[in-house]
């Protein structure tokens, strides 16, 4: 080989490496400005100004007339979802992050295929990363039955820069009138009733009323991005009558359309707290602003409790990064406990027995900056009271972590935790 040919080969290799590194950096960096300053505390969670800020500043509007049913753990989550699918007459829209092979996955495939063969328009949007453990045969059966199925951000060389953006949303809407959202994935790990480490603890919610149209709109936002197709009309957006007495909004965020909005919503709610903050999080890697907001709440007398997974967790790396950040929180009087029976995949926030936020969002940079997320916000004292009781039951099964316990962990653990925290922008 000639010297010129060798130089050309080296130059080509350099170009390829440079391109790869550039795309990797673009993929790992956020493109939007971060919220940098603490929000001033201007009102309490039970004041009209708080409600107006949720609607006017962050949107969409809080709508009256909704009914939200709490579903705890797989034994009480999957049957209502499958029953709603079986009862569909016109449309089914379904978006989820985790979809794995197994009994639960087979049950949903069978239900969706049956409705598609019956003439129902079925649209399924799966995150590519979250559905890699789904057998191709399941996808084939869905497609052959007439289900329109798409994978969100399947890797391709033309859009490497967006591969780190995943849809973490969990949305099921049937006939535009009944909605489901929460934290559950379509996998066998969510079966049961959190009775053992093999049965994960999680919550999901069945929704009726005008807010279901917002849930449908959130699904359609990603569906249009993935397919370029617009779904509309009476079958997707029927007239929705009041079904209860709860005010609610379906809140969403995405790196392509304001990723910081979910972070801002949580900070707004935490800042409005006067008495109690009950925070459940399956992944908790708080940034400095979140830590400051929680410690400021504790300093003004708010009882702040944070319930997290114990050693039963599917990402030990995330747990280590989380534990590295607990010092300022514990010193400020924030109470932290780890749920002992099984993996705690629950996500929820209850503020002052008035405001509740539940859905797919975790308290970490991945949820606030990188993922597409969706949370149902409810302003209702009776619903908040029920969610507070759920939190109390979970809290009773947690082990309280004291400042002395945190300080006395082995130095090897501290070193690993600090190492894990270096990558918190991706966790």
Q: Compute the distance between CA of residue 205 and CA of residue 182 in angstroms, rounded to an integer.
A: 6
Structure tokens at 114: 């049956």
Q: Compute the distance between CA of residue 75 and CA of residue 244 in angstroms, rounded to an integer.
A: 25
Residue whose C-alpha is closest to residue 377's, from 364, 360, 365: 360
Q: Cite the active site residues.
A: 168, 170, 175, 345, 347, 352
Q: Compute the distance between CA of residue 93 and CA of residue 227 in angstroms, rounded to an integer.
A: 14
Residue whose C-alpha is closest to residue 122's, from 94, 103, 100, 102: 94
Count CB atoms within 10 A of the CB of residue 313: 20
Q: Compute the distance between CA of residue 131 and CA of residue 137 in angstroms, rounded to an integer.
A: 13
Q: Where does 223-334 show beta strands of DSSP type E?
A: 246-253, 276-280, 303-309
User: Could you tell me whether strands 303-309 and 355-359 are parallel, antiparallel, or unpaired per DSSP bridges?
Assistant: unpaired
Q: Compute the distance between CA of residue 49 and CA of residue 244 in angstroms, rounded to an integer.
A: 23
Cβ-contact 412, 324 below 8 angstroms: no
Coil, strand or helix at 284: strand
Structure tokens at 361: 């969002």
């Amino acid at each position: 080989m000639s010297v010129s040919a060798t130089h050309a080969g080296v130059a080509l290799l350099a170009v390829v490496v440079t391109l790869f590194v550039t795309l990797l950096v673009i993929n790992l960096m956020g493109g939007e400005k971060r919220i940098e300053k603490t929000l001033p505390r201007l009102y309490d969670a039970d004041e009209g100004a708080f409600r107006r800020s949720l609607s006017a500043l962050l949107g969409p509007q809080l709508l009256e007339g909704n009914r939200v049913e709490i579903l705890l753990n797989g034994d009480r989550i999957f049957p209502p979802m499958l029953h709603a699918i079986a009862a569909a007459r016109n449309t089914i829209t379904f978006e989820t992050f985790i979809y794995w092979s197994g009994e639960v996955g087979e049950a949903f495939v069978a239900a969706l295929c049956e409705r598609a063969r019956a003439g129902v328009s079925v649209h399924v949007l799966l995150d590519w990363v979250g559905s890699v453990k789904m057998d191709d045969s399941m996808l084939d059966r869905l497609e052959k039955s007439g289900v329109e199925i798409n994978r969100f951000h399947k890797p391709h060389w033309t859009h490497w820069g967006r591969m780190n953006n995943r849809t973490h949303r969990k949305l099921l809407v049937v006939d535009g009138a009944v909605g489901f959202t929460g934290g559950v994935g379509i996998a066998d790990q969510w079966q049961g009733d959190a009775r053992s480490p093999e049965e994960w603890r999680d919550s999901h919610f069945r929704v009726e009323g005008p807010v279901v149209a917002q849930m449908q709109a959130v699904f359609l936002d990603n569906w249009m991005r993935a397919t370029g197709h617009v779904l509309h009309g009476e079958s997707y957006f029927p007239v929705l009558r009041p079904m209860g007495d709860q005010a609610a909004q379906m809140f969403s965020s995405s790196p392509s359309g304001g990723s910081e909005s979910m972070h801002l919503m949580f900070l707004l709610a935490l800042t409005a707290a006067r008495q109690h903050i009950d925070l459940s999080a399956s992944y908790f890697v708080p940034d400095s602003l979140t830590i400051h907001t929680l410690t400021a709440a504790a300093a003004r007398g708010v009882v702040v409790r944070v319930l997290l997974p114990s050693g039963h967790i599917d990402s030990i790396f995330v747990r280590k990064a989380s534990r590295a950040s607990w010092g300022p929180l514990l010193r400020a009087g924030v109470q932290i406990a780890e749920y002992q029976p099984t993996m705690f995949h629950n996500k929820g926030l209850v503020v002052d027995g008035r405001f509740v936020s539940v859905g797919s969002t975790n308290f970490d940079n991945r949820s606030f900056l990188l993922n597409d997320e969706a949370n149902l916000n409810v302003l209702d004292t009776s619903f908040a009271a029920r969610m507070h009781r759920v939190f109390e039951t979970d809290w009773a099964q947690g082990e309280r972590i004291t400042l002395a316990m945190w300080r006395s962990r082995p130095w090897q653990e501290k070193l690993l935790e600090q190492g894990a925290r270096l990558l918190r922008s991706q966790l």
